[in-house]
Amino acid sequence: MLLDVKEIHTYYGTSHVLFGLSLNIQQGQAVALLGRNGAGKSTTLRTTVGLVKPRQGRIIFKGQDITDLPVHRISQVGIGYVPEDRMIFPNLAVWENLDLGIHRARKGRFTLETAFDLFPRLKERSKQQAGMLSGGEQQMLAIARSMLLNPELLLLDEPMEGLGPLVVEEIGNRLRDLKQQQSLAILLCEPNTRFAMNLCNWVYLIEKGTIGYQASIEEFRKNAEIQERYLFVHGSTRSNKP
């Protein structure tokens, strides 16, 4: 077991958001965490990386209890995180953003050169200010910077939001490469259900702060009733059904 999240209860102030949520991830596994807006997906990721501390429950990574570790220590044990807003430094050059992601004490196969091989656009724009990049290029930068920690688990919060189909396909291909070549485990929150199903092999569905369903992607694909129950809003004209 790589990650074992055990019955966590997370609050924002007095607002109870996660209600005994549990999930686990194996080494090299890609897992989708899906649900409607406000179900608790982002809070699950933020709790896992220590940005919000659960009031109950434990988070175990590679057999170590990391529940009470500060954020920087959690990144050092091997968990990378790409937040929804990317958190790049817009006034720094691309290469400077990447350099800030390197953890000198954590060695691994992923280097600055590897980052440029993974996303050649970043190499072409290495001296350009990050704030001048397109949305897709900024997302590539955020992913590459997180990979420079050489994580064993990468958490991605809605990485495809607002990106065009060609960029989505490109980033999806690179994430699959990382999963296969680096034995990288992934926990993905993503409203683009089709993208999530093409990348991942297991799915958790979250509703009102707790896991209501889990299955292999193959099983989930066949279950239209479950998809309707957990993902789609009745009366809405928007649909991302696979």
pLDDT of 182 strictly over 60? yes
Mean pLDDT computed over 69-96:
94
What's the CA gap between 158 and 123, in Å, rounded?
24
Distances in Å between the Cα of 173 and the Cα atoms of 44, 66, 176, 178, 186 are: 25, 31, 5, 9, 14
Mean pLDDT across 170-175: 94
Q: What percent of the chain has pLDDT over 90?
A: 81
Listed residue (23, 15, 66) closest to 41, CA to CA: 23
> Residue 189 pLDDT more than 70?
yes
As a whole number, mean pLDDT of residues 47-70 equals 97
**Side chain identity at 206, as an amino acid letter?**
I
In the sheet that holds 185-189, the strands lie side by side as 79-82, 153-157, 185-189, 30-34, 202-207, 210-216
Give the model's confidence band at 180: pLDDT under 50 very low, under 70 low, under 90 confident, else very high. confident
State how far the Cα of 240 lies from the Cα of 242, in Å rounded to an integer. 6
CB 242 within 8 A of CB 224: no
Q: How much is the pLDDT for 234?
A: 39
Percent of the residues in the chain that have a pLDDT greater than 70, as a whole number: 94
**87-102, pLDDT tens digit by residue?**
999 999 999 999 988 8
Domains, the chain: 3-231 (3.40.50.300)
Residue 105 confidence (pLDDT): 63
pLDDT digits (tens, 9 = 90+) for 30-47: 999 999 999 999 999 999
189-211: average pLDDT:
94
